[in-house]
Amino acid sequence: MKQKIAFGLICLVFCFMPQAVLAATTATCPISFNGETGKLTAFIQNETAYLPLRDTIELCCVTIDWDNANKQATVSTGLDTTVFKLTGGKWYLDGKEMNESREPLIRNNQLYLPLYAIRNLCEVKVHWNREQQQIEVDFPFVYIAGQWQYYDGMKYTPIKKAAGQEACYRTVHLGEGTTGTDYLWELKSDGQCRRLAADWNITDWQIKDGVCYYLAMQMGFGDKYRVYAVDLTDGKKTQLGDPDYLYNITIKKDGPLYVLTGYTTQPKDWRVKNEGVLINGIAEAALSDDVVEDEELMQQTYGRYLLPLDGGEQTMLKALSE
């Protein structure tokens, strides 16, 4: 992602904002970025840590544009954006008012935001290390000497491109395992990057003609997915197939029951073709977790489907339950 960060104007604008907190800070605190200290410093005021917006964003491959007329900054990590806005003396993140006791402040002509705001804007892992008495910021990717590296919180590992691909692709999970979000990133060989998709559990993806198609696992037992398409030009997300169906399903007889099988090693048996996505599917109502609950409905709906790329009605190509 080419970084075009218009901060000169931002700093000038913020210097004349009476709403920003200009009170003296009580302490400074080092910031460890991907295990390295010395690049960034935070301020502590009223038991709140404030991080420098400009410097943090530059390290996190994020862009920002300031709209002086509307007094708002639009921060982008790829196809989506987060809006940071000042209006009526109050601060907002995506329309939600920020905590009044932790207002942004200006220090040395630079805007500092509370730790939680930086976490939301830059989509990074940020936490307080009490033992080391420092704030730790972890961003999963860095571009060093022409090579993308993945940072897992301990060390850097080179990311290799797959054969025939012009970029590297990697998913990163942020938040708790059961409530967090998977982010799919595109890392180009020229150092540009962007986030392509976000969902609870992105398991597999294919990119064709400027569109990212991906499988998102549904909560519950077994491999049960829905299929989505994200236009890489405007970021529009579309669900493909029937919303009452689950996809990438394999069902076999196991004694007296029909069950989903191979849900940890199941190959991703789906393809994106010019005419649509080819994938196995079944009506969700036929299943109860990883067991077929309605065998009659399974016989009617379990099959190989063609899901039109424009989001139209699916077509069963072959019944798989015969």
Residue whose C-alpha is closest to residue 124's, from 100, 151, 105:
151
pLDDT band at 280 (very low <50, low <70, confident <90, very high): very high
**Burial call 34-51: b when 16+ CB within 10 Å, e when fewer:** beeeeebbbbebeebbbb
68: phi then psi, degrees, rounded to nearest 5:
-65, -35
| CA distances to 299, 301, 313 from 318, in Å | 12, 10, 16
pLDDT for residue 170 is more than 70: yes
For 11-25, 81-95, 282-296, which range has the lowest pLDDT when averaged over its residues? 11-25
> What percentage of the chain has pLDDT greater than the value 90?
24
- Domain edges within the chain: 7-137, 140-200, 203-322
Distance separating alpha carbons of residues 70 and 138, to the nearest angstrom: 32
**Sheet containing 193-199: which strands, arranged edge to edge?**
167-174, 181-188, 193-199
- For the ranges 127-131, 163-167, 282-286, which has the lowest average pLDDT? 163-167
Poorest-pLDDT segment among 6-15, 65-74, 93-102: 6-15
User: What was the pLDDT predicted at 15?
Assistant: 35
Q: What span, in angstroms and rounded, lies between the C-alpha atoms of 107 and 231?
A: 40
Q: What is the pLDDT of residues 72-113, one digit of tens each?
A: 777 777 777 777 777 766 778 777 887 666 777 778 777 888
pLDDT at 2: 32
Going by pLDDT thresholds of 50, 70 and 90, the confidence category of residue 211 is: very high
Position 4 scores a pLDDT of 34
93, 83 Cβ separation under 8 angstroms: yes
Three-state secondary-structure class, residue 128: strand
- How far apart, in whole angstroms, are the C-alpha atoms of residue 78 and residue 145? 22
Q: What is the pTM of this model?
A: 0.75
Q: What are the pLDDT digits (tens) for 219-271?
A: 776 678 999 999 988 888 999 999 999 999 989 888 888 988 765 555 578 99
CATH of domain 7-137: 3.30.457.10
The more confident residue out of 140 and 124 is 140
